[in-house]
Amino acid sequence: MELIFLGTSSGTPTKTRNVSGVVVKEIDKKEWCLIDCGEGTQHQILKTKLSLNKLKAIFITHIHGDHCYGLPGLLASAGMGGRKEALTIVGSQEVFDYIEAVNSITELHLPYELLFVNVDKLDEEKIGTFKVSSIALSHRVSSFAYVFELNTATIKLNITKLKKVGIPPAPYWGILQSGKDIEFNNKKHKAIEYTETLKTSKKIIVCGDNDQPDLLKEKSVKADVIVHEATYTHKDFLKIGNGPMHSSALKIAEFAENIGLKNLVLTHFSPRYQEEPSAKNNIFEIESEAKAVFKGSLFLAKDFSRYTLGENGILTDKLKN
Ligand SMILES: [Zn+2]
Ligand SMILES: [Zn+2]
């Protein structure tokens, strides 16, 4: 599985960060899912290889503008780009009301169908190749996390046995690997005798705005990656108070450490944190605060960060590698 970040700022965009938008997809597959669609998300998509025709579903975590003001423009552009296939939109009732209102007021006649799935009713739904469920979070409006699970089964050949029996690779090995039996030297050989099925499962949780990371605990069992907001440092969080109902870097890092998480990706940073280490408020404070308590692999997402999750459960930053 892989993650691509289209926006990593909270509230307003900055010169280097757009507002929320995250892609979840399978490595080397063209189909993709979008989680949140802040204003300008479609412009960010233009800078990637992603095609709106291959967009399988959009998941909106909550109705705040920095997570959904980009939806109408993206839907319209997909239509003008010739999309015909129905598009699934997962979200709360407010999200559907908002889309319906824009559709009718601006006379947006989409040439494809929108399939609304209410997040309250999302229960291990099969969307594309993923099994997706949701977790209710705590924020000023109802907010959700989406859990993406991918179960794969690969058939591996027992090469040692094949060589021992003397079955040549062409054309037999490919046939056996596809699960079909073969006949060789006037003898039948069953695929099951020469193959082994390896089952793997991967789990990535992408969270909306949330001030109570503990709500993720139950569904975080066997999660490979959690993507969560770290809007402020804890020092600033204490100054601001919990009015905005966001998490500090310390709060989410403590949760991740407590559950023994392997990979934590932080995003949705307040625009006050600048990229220059010399700036009064800078992004490195968020990083050092989280690193001080979380001992797993920590990533601070940037716009266009691409992370791939390997079979071994290791998350790799493709911007760096
Ligand atoms: Zn937000
Ligand atoms: Zn919000």
Distance 211 CA to ligand 1 centre (A): 12
Write the single-letter amino acid at 93: Q
pTM, to two decimals: 0.91
Do 6 and 25 meet the contact criterion of CB atoms below 8 Å apart?
Answer: no
**Phi, psi (rounded to 5 degrees) for 208:** -85, -175
Which ligand has its closest atom nearest to the C-alpha of 270?
Answer: 1
Which ligand has its closest atom nearest to the C-alpha of 63?
Answer: 2
Task: Give the catalytic positions in this structure.
Answer: 66
Q: With CA atoms as reference, report the closest residue to 146 among 130, 170, 159.
A: 130
Give the H or E element holding residue 183.
strand 182-184
Distance 180 CA to ligand 1 centre (A): 51
Distance 11 CA to ligand 2 centre (A): 8
CB atoms within 5 A of ion ligand 1 belong to 10, 66, 209
For residues 225-235, b (16+ Cβ closer than 10 Å) or e, as one string?
bbbbbbbbbbe
Write the single-letter amino acid at 165: V
Q: Write down all domains in the chain, each with its CATH number in brackets.
A: 2-154+197-317 (3.60.15.10), 155-196 (no CATH)
User: On the CB side of 181, how many CA atoms lie within 13 Å of its CA?
Assistant: 8
| 3 state DSSP class of 167 | coil
Which ligand has its closest atom nearest to the C-alpha of 141?
Answer: 2
Residue 115: CB atoms within 10 A of its CB come to 11
138, two tokens: 């705590």
How many whole angstroms separate alpha carbon 166 and alpha carbon 183?
13
Do 22 and 2 meet the contact criterion of CB atoms below 8 Å apart?
Answer: no
Which ligand has its closest atom nearest to the C-alpha of 144?
Answer: 2
Burial of 293 (0-12, 13-18, 19+ CB in 10 A): middle
Distance 49 CA to ligand 1 centre (A): 26
Provide the pairing of β-strand 297-300 with 87-91: unpaired
What is the chain's pLDDT, residue by residue, as a tens digit (321 residues)? 999 999 999 999 999 999 999 999 999 999 999 999 999 999 999 999 999 999 999 999 999 999 999 999 999 999 999 999 999 999 999 999 999 999 999 999 999 999 999 999 898 889 999 999 999 999 999 999 999 999 988 899 999 999 999 999 999 999 999 999 999 999 999 999 999 998 999 999 999 999 999 999 999 999 999 999 999 999 999 999 999 999 999 999 999 999 999 999 999 999 999 999 899 999 999 999 999 999 999 999 999 999 999 988 999 999 876
Distance 235 CA to ligand 2 centre (A): 20
Distance 35 CA to ligand 2 centre (A): 14
Residue 111 DSSP symbol: S
Question: Under the phi-then-psi rule, with left for phi > 0, alpha for psi from -120 to 50, and beta for the rest, what region is 107?
Answer: left
